[in-house]
C-alpha cells in the first residue's frame, strides 16, 4: 500500500526536526498541532472492566512500551487504519483538547509507524497545556 500523502503537519515536523534550533519551525509545528484534529483509537465499548463501571464513556487506547504509557494519535484516518490494520474505533480530538486533558506521566505517540512520527514527553505536553491556558486567558480578556 502506498504511503499517505504528506500533510501540513508532516511538513512542519520535518522542518522542525531538520532545524530544531529554529524558533520559527518549532512555533509553526506546535501551532499546527494545537489547531489540528487527530484520530485517537479507543478501546471498544465493553472490552474492559473500567468500561462496564463507567457506562458509555469513551476510553482512549493507551499502549505500554518500555514501562511507559503512550496515547496513540494520528493526523489522518488512513494512517490510523494502516497502523491498526483494520477499521479501528476512534474519536476525533483537537490538539488543544489533548493538551488540556492529558496528565503526567502519559506520553503521546503521533503517527506511529510513519516517517513523520513524534513522541511527546510529559514536560512537553504540560508546556502545550500552559500555552493553551494562556491563549484562552488572552481570548477571554478581549
pLDDT tens per residue, range 24-56: 999 999 999 999 999 999 998 775 555 445 556
**Which residue shows C-alpha cell 476510553?**
59
Assign domain 30-140 to a CATH class.
Answer: alpha beta
pLDDT tens per residue, range 59-112: 999 999 999 999 999 999 999 999 998 889 999 999 999 999 999 999 999 999
Q: Report d(CA 21, CA 94) in Å as an integer.
A: 27
What are 118-125's contacts with CB under 8 Å, separation 24+?
Answer: 118/13, 119/70, 125/99
Q: Report d(CA 60, CA 37) in Å as an integer.
A: 15
CB neighbour list of residue 121: distance below 8 Å, 6 or more residues apart:
107
132 φ/ψ angles, rounded to the nearest 5 degrees = -65, -45
Rounded to two decimals, the pTM is 0.87
Cell of 133: 491556558
Amino acid at each position: 500500500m502506498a504511503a499517505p500523502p504528506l500533510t501540513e503537519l508532516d511538513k512542519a515536523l520535518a522542518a522542525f526536526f531538520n532545524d530544531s534550533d529554529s524558533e520559527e519551525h518549532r512555533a509553526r509545528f506546535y501551532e499546527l498541532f494545537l489547531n489540528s484534529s487527530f484520530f485517537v483509537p479507543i478501546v471498544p465499548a465493553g472490552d474492559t472492566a473500567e468500561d462496564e463501571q463507567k457506562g458509555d464513556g469513551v476510553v482512549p487506547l493507551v499502549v505500554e512500551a518500555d514501562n511507559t504509557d503512550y496515547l496513540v494519535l494520528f493526523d489522518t484516518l488512513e494512517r490510523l487504519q494502516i497502523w491498526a490494520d483494520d477499521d479501528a474505533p476512534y474519536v476525533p480530538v483537537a490538539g488543544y483538547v489533548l493538551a488540556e486533558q492529558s496528565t503526567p506521566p502519559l506520553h503521546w505517540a503521533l503517527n506511529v509507524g510513519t516517517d513523520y512520527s513524534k513522541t511527546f514527553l510529559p514536560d512537553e505536553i504540560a508546556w502545550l497545556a500552559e500555552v493553551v491556558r494562556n491563549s484562552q486567558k488572552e481570548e477571554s480578556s478581549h
